[in-house]
Structure 1
Amino acid sequence: MVRRLKLAIGAVAAVGVSAAASHGQEMVEVELTKLDGTTMTRTYEKPRYGGTITMNREILLVSFSNWDPRGGGGPHELANVQITNQRLSQLDWARGASGTNDYPNFVAATPPLYTTGLLAESWTYPNDTSMVFKMREGIHFWEKEDVAQANPGLEADYGREITAHDAEWSKNQMNFFQQGQPGAVKWTALDDHTLELSWPTPDATQAGFNFSQYAFIFNSGMQNISQDEWGDWKNALGTGAYIPTDFIPGSTVTYKRNPNYWEDDPIHTDNRLPYADTFRIVDFDDEASIIAALRAGQIDLTNGLGSSGKWGTQLKETNPEIGQFPAAATPAVWVPRVDLPNSPFSDIKVRQALMMAIPRDEIVESFYGGAASPYAYPTFPNFADWFVAYDDLPTEPTLPGSCASAKDVVTYNPDKARECLAAAGYPDGFDFDLWTPPGEAEFNELYQGVWNEVGIRANLNVVELAVWQSVKDRDEHLGLTSWTPGMWQDPFSMLINSLHSNATINSARVNDPMYDNILAIVEQELDNEKRIAAWQEFFPKALEQSIYPTGVAFDKLTFWNPWVKGYSGEISNVGIQGWHSLAKIIWIDTDMQPGG
């Protein structure tokens, strides 16, 4: 007998059961509706409850110790709350890699086409300067008896319904959302279940919606306890699938299943999430340790690996049973301080020399095994309408002080690199400091070698994440800091986050009208053809200028052991920086798992 169930996203699932399965596991057939309205059937192992999921922390993240709603520089500094405090919307899991495969795995914050509700069940756009979220009713914060240690100041908030007022309060606390584009969007609770987002002028980038996907919703009752207590994990109070039970800073976080969680599996719609009884995040910083733990079965899955270019190839040979999937194309970026005249990298010719010293095609093939793109700045090639292909790049310089064209800077030419260095006043090259976090050390050693050949001699400093962050964003350094930002979620990420004069992560201290002018077009021009034309004119200029010098953009990989089920390599199920939130939807075959 086949039962048909209507999914929240509007798709229709049909479930049938067969006796045949690997390892004796019962199989189910699920009929799913694709985005274009056609249907498809996939066969899955029938999910089972129980067991423990152990996941390495999202290695893109800076902080593994922050529980504070103010959240520092953004959602990447709130790794621990991805699974405890939810967002308004999420990616449509049933139309991703584990479902109909309608959207590619690199999709994070955009486009809204692939997004469905989480704490919000729906949203509308009443006009060009606002949107209204309808909050789900009946979603409650954790009960008092389920948290590790109740706080008397939160007595009224345990077990109560989450409201739009909690969302408004949360947005107004998180530091990241008070500046730049996020700060221009105002969140207003119109009533308990209606949240309005508004912004000053029409915005073609849909920044209001995009940034809403970054924001975790906390309990506004936190304002009734001392702010000194906000960062104490025992005071965490969310609506998420898992509740923290133990926290060892810099080591592990342990969570238990929320017994009153409200959400159903979007594919197996009769099943209430989550599946695992226990969820653990462990903190490994370097890729070698992560791979060793994965091979030993000490962790079940991990993401963001591949900066060294070797792990995917190695594991295919040594551990073919370990799944792997390209999770996110990631650029190798170096951050100078272009506002400091005594920095050699404030000179466009030096940045261009740095670029031309890189044998891009060779690195793509020999270092990354083809899983990379020669260049992806200022937009990734997967955005075909916005990216300018190599053959279409200008062949002559167009900018003041430039010694190379846009095509030149992404063409390996060490002789021309030396000419540009000499023209900049460095005929013998120069020495500089290069700071990198541990996870990016190996590929920086590669670039250190190729730059040395033209006389740009890097003193490589491998430092802890906190030190690296301080140098990149706060110190007046004269060198470069390595960076692998998430530029792949929309065509304008680098511009919006790091290039215009009021960008929230303007680590290079860029102040050039070219970027502010194109931002105005991207945000305000509602004719998409005109936006594309303006961007394609801007693209080669940004590449020629190379404010942020870039290397090859490589695919970071997710890896998972064979006992991880209901999973196809996704990097997130909610949007950007949502790796840990996957724990609510995957399940563990405890018969296969060591010690299970």
Structure 2
Amino acid sequence: MNTQASSMLAGVVLALCAATANAQSDAPKYGGTLEIGSVYPTISALSWDLADWNWKQNYDTGQVYEQLFVADLSKSRRLGGKYSFQADAWLPEDAIRGELAESWKWLDPQTLEVRLRKGVRFPAKPGVMEERELVADDVVFSYTRQAESAKKIPTYFDHLAKVEAKDKHTVLFRFSKYNAEWDYRFGWGYYSGIMPKEVATAGAGNWKHVNGSGPFQLTQFVQGNASTYTRNALYWDTEKVGSKDFKLPFVDKMVLRTIKDEATRNTMLRTGKLDVMEGIRWTSVEELKKSAPQLQWSRWLSFTGQYLAMRVDTKPFNDIRVRRALNMAVNKQEIVKQYYGGNAELFAYPQHPDYEGYFEPLSAMPENVKELFTYNPDKARKLLAEAGYPKGFKFKVQVCACAPDHMELLPLIAAYLEQVNVRIEIQPMEYGAFLSAMTTRTNAPGYMMANGHTNPTTTIRKSFVPGQVWNAAQWGNDAYTKRVEAAFELRDLGKRQEALRGLTRDILAEAPYIWLPTPYMYTAWWPWVRNYGGELRAGAVRPGPIYARMWIDQDMKKKLGF
């Protein structure tokens, strides 16, 4: 559709969509296909087996496999609540509801009882299983399989002594010690999906075997292209619209698109081939608003922090003076102003500004942290000379070719570093090899990373505790690790927040990374997509419950010429 035609239709849209912002009060419409441009548009499914412990599994399987807990989407800002539900893995306690869990309570400080919903069904899957009810043994099986996986994150379930079925619909979680992430770790987190044993027996890694109790069934997968999900007629949940409950999901089919080329993604959105595009860089927004003025928009500060990790177990990065020098050598204010056009925050990692009680602004930080965000090449050269590198040095930096922003930003960082005689060799890598380098701890001395903020505790644990998968700098300090462990055992929220603020300040000053600005991102959707306001995650990168509640106004779509 050309710009002139789009403009002519703008008036029509206003007439058709006067109530778009309050779409939840309209009667839902069933049917149709929802086409989604993934928030991870360049990365296809990494694995369908939950025991592979890949971070993206909830995005790909979360339409099919349910969890004990989920986001309470009734508390979204769109409906008058206070949560945007855009964070990659952050659900405050008052934003959680039971999904498979009907209720839960602590029987004593070390025992949690979870009562499951009755009547939740696994659909029949030819060659895999017959239709049957989901029961407590499925929860125990799923937990045990995750806990015994050779690929699990070290220490992840160490706080649990035993998980057992009390009866057909009751599960007991027996703790060896309190963990502040008890609900996240096996409730609504990255590795919490409940899978029937029959799928594991058939081969959980085969997408054709995937089968769960969620709103959709996986019916087609084309690597590098799309994952297609079809309505699960047995799904148990409903959505209240107005005063009436409606059976979910509303759409017949939902397609997650993998589209590596940014221009192609934008064209597909502009021409209505995508109903929603979840992640759009600021550089594309102005043109899209002009060419497709009917699009609805959400702007959000990325929940993926950016940095260049420096391996502290290799020279010269074992010297804090070198690490601090490289931070001062990069003009981060200029990156915000010139590279991002002001569409970024200078300081928003490892804690995110949305993490109330945990995040402290740069203005509240000690001077040794503020200094790392102030461009000072002269002091950088002085520190390098003190560390024994008056003529600088050279090191390799690995970067994912799947990240256009990083492919463009890294040469700019290289130019800054050259001003203090530090040169980098840029090694682009495909995502699989790039991720493997970090997880096997064979990554280069420099590693250009986009890493989810996750939540206020995990962002510190996963990045700065030895042996953790996402610790690309290989940072390790015994005293610091003990403080992290102690913080996780604090039941008092205020004390835990205080401990995490201190841990954050200290790791910032140690500078295992070149701390980089956090950009703003955009989500866009056509007005025929109803019951939606830019929500992205209902758990740990899990969108399934959101997609299940969206419907397509086919009449509006046709009237707009699509």
Whether TM-score is above 0.5 comes out as yes
Secondary structure (helix, strand or coil) at the match of 1:345 reads coil
Q: How does 1:190-205 map to 2 (within 5 A)?
A: 190-203=166-179, 205=180
- CA-CA distance at 1:570 after TM superposition: 0.8
- CA-CA distance at 1:209 after TM superposition: 4.1
Q: How does 1:41-56 map to 2 (within 5 A)?
A: 44-56=25-37
Report the CA distance shift for 1:409/1:289 in structure 2 as closer, same or farther (over 3 A): same
For residues 29 and 505 of structure 1, the distance between their equivalents in structure 2, rounded to whole angstroms, comes to 39
Q: Is the 8 A contact 1:92 1:114 kept in 2?
A: yes
Report the CA distance shift for 1:302/1:548 in structure 2 as closer, same or farther (over 3 A): same
Q: Relative contact order: is structure 1 or structure 2 higher (C-alpha 8 Å, sep ≥ 6)?
A: 2
Instruction: Please give the per-residue CA displacement for 1:456-513, whole angstroms capped at 9, x wherever unaligned.
Output: 32332332110111222225344322222111x4322221212123534333222202
1:468: which partner in 2? 434
- CA-CA distance at 1:588 after TM superposition: 1.5
Are 2:408 and 1:432 aligned?
Answer: no
Q: AA paired with 2:163?
A: W
Instruction: Please give the per-residue CA displacement for 1:159-178, whole angstroms capped at 9, x wherever unaligned.
Output: 20011211121122234656
Are 2:507 and 1:579 aligned?
Answer: no
Seq. identity, %: 26
1:374: which partner in 2? 346
Q: Give the TM-score of the pair, scaled to structure 1.
A: 0.82
Q: AA paired with 2:60?
A: N
Cα RMSD between the aligned structures? Answer: 2.9
2:292: which partner in 1? 319
For residues 113 and 382 of structure 1, the distance between their equivalents in structure 2, rounded to whole angstroms, comes to 15
Tell me the matched-pair count. 537
1:240: which partner in 2? 214
2:448: which partner in 1? 482
Secondary structure (helix, strand or coil) at the match of 1:385 reads coil
Instruction: Please give the per-residue CA displacement for 1:54-88, whole angstroms capped at 9, x wherever unaligned.
Output: 11234189651522232x23341454312111111
Report the CA distance shift for 1:351/1:66 in structure 2 as closer, same or farther (over 3 A): same
Are 2:370 and 1:390 aligned?
Answer: no
- CA-CA distance at 1:137 after TM superposition: 0.5
For residues 375 and 557 of structure 1, the distance between their equivalents in structure 2, rounded to whole angstroms, comes to 19
2:40: which partner in 1? 59
For residues 61 and 494 of structure 1, the distance between their equivalents in structure 2, rounded to whole angstroms, comes to 24
1:568: which partner in 2? 533
- Shifted more, 120-129 versus 57-66: the winner is 57-66
- CA-CA distance at 1:313 after TM superposition: 4.3
Where does the alignment leave 5 or more consecutive residues of structure 2 unmatched? Answer: 1-12
Q: AA paired with 1:410?
A: F
For residues 186 and 419 of structure 2, the distance between their equivalents in structure 1, rounded to whole angstroms, comes to 43
For residues 314 and 210 of structure 1, the distance between their equivalents in structure 2, rounded to whole angstroms, comes to 42
- Shifted more, 470-479 versus 80-89: the winner is 470-479
For residues 330 and 356 of structure 2, the distance between their equivalents in structure 1, rounded to whole angstroms, comes to 24
List 4+ stretches of structure 1 deviating above 6 A: 25-30
Secondary structure (helix, strand or coil) at the match of 1:270 reads strand
For residues 198 and 285 of structure 1, the distance between their equivalents in structure 2, rounded to whole angstroms, comes to 45
Q: AA paired with 1:330?
A: T
Q: Is the 8 A contact 2:43 2:224 kept in 1?
A: no
Secondary structure (helix, strand or coil) at the match of 1:137 reads coil
For residues 160 and 527 of structure 1, the distance between their equivalents in structure 2, rounded to whole angstroms, comes to 42
For residues 200 and 355 of structure 2, the distance between their equivalents in structure 1, rounded to whole angstroms, comes to 43
Report the CA distance shift for 1:265/1:461 in structure 2 as closer, same or farther (over 3 A): same
2:85: which partner in 1? 105
For residues 500 and 456 of structure 1, the distance between their equivalents in structure 2, rounded to whole angstroms, comes to 28
- CA-CA distance at 1:371 after TM superposition: 3.7
Q: Give the TM-score of the pair, scaled to structure 2.
A: 0.87
2:194: which partner in 1? 217
Q: AA paired with 1:456?
A: V
For residues 481 and 349 of structure 2, the distance between their equivalents in structure 1, rounded to whole angstroms, comes to 17
- CA-CA distance at 1:114 after TM superposition: 0.4
- CA-CA distance at 1:45 after TM superposition: 3.6
- CA-CA distance at 1:125 after TM superposition: 2.0
For residues 286 and 425 of structure 1, the distance between their equivalents in structure 2, rounded to whole angstroms, comes to 44
Higher helix share: 2
For residues 432 and 193 of structure 1, the distance between their equivalents in structure 2, rounded to whole angstroms, comes to 56
Q: Is the 8 A contact 2:75 2:95 kept in 1?
A: yes
Q: How does 1:75-94 map to 2 (within 5 A)?
A: 75-77=55-57, 79-94=59-74
Q: AA paired with 2:395?
A: F
Report the CA distance shift for 1:330/1:26 in structure 2 as closer, same or farther (over 3 A): closer
Secondary structure (helix, strand or coil) at the match of 1:559 reads strand
Report the CA distance shift for 1:22/1:126 in structure 2 as closer, same or farther (over 3 A): farther
Report the CA distance shift for 1:60/1:504 in structure 2 as closer, same or farther (over 3 A): farther
For residues 558 and 459 of structure 1, the distance between their equivalents in structure 2, rounded to whole angstroms, comes to 34
For residues 475 and 554 of structure 2, the distance between their equivalents in structure 1, rounded to whole angstroms, comes to 52
For residues 58 and 83 of structure 2, the distance between their equivalents in structure 1, rounded to whole angstroms, comes to 26
Are 2:233 and 1:271 aligned?
Answer: no
Secondary structure (helix, strand or coil) at the match of 1:346 reads coil
For residues 114 and 59 of structure 2, the distance between their equivalents in structure 1, rounded to whole angstroms, comes to 25
For residues 290 and 322 of structure 2, the distance between their equivalents in structure 1, rounded to whole angstroms, comes to 41
For residues 519 and 472 of structure 1, the distance between their equivalents in structure 2, rounded to whole angstroms, comes to 22
1:36: which partner in 2? none
Where does the alignment leave 5 or more consecutive residues of structure 1 unmatched? Answer: 1-20, 31-41, 145-149, 396-404
Report the CA distance shift for 1:89/1:411 in structure 2 as closer, same or farther (over 3 A): same
Report the CA distance shift for 1:28/1:409 in structure 2 as closer, same or farther (over 3 A): closer
Report the CA distance shift for 1:371/1:121 in structure 2 as closer, same or farther (over 3 A): farther
Secondary structure (helix, strand or coil) at the match of 1:542 reads helix
1:164: which partner in 2? 136
For residues 502 and 528 of structure 1, the distance between their equivalents in structure 2, rounded to whole angstroms, comes to 27
For residues 469 and 423 of structure 1, the distance between their equivalents in structure 2, rounded to whole angstroms, comes to 34
Report the CA distance shift for 1:194/1:109 in structure 2 as closer, same or farther (over 3 A): farther
Q: AA paired with 2:358?
A: W
For residues 235 and 81 of structure 1, the distance between their equivalents in structure 2, rounded to whole angstroms, comes to 12
1:74: which partner in 2? 54
Q: AA paired with 1:140?
A: R
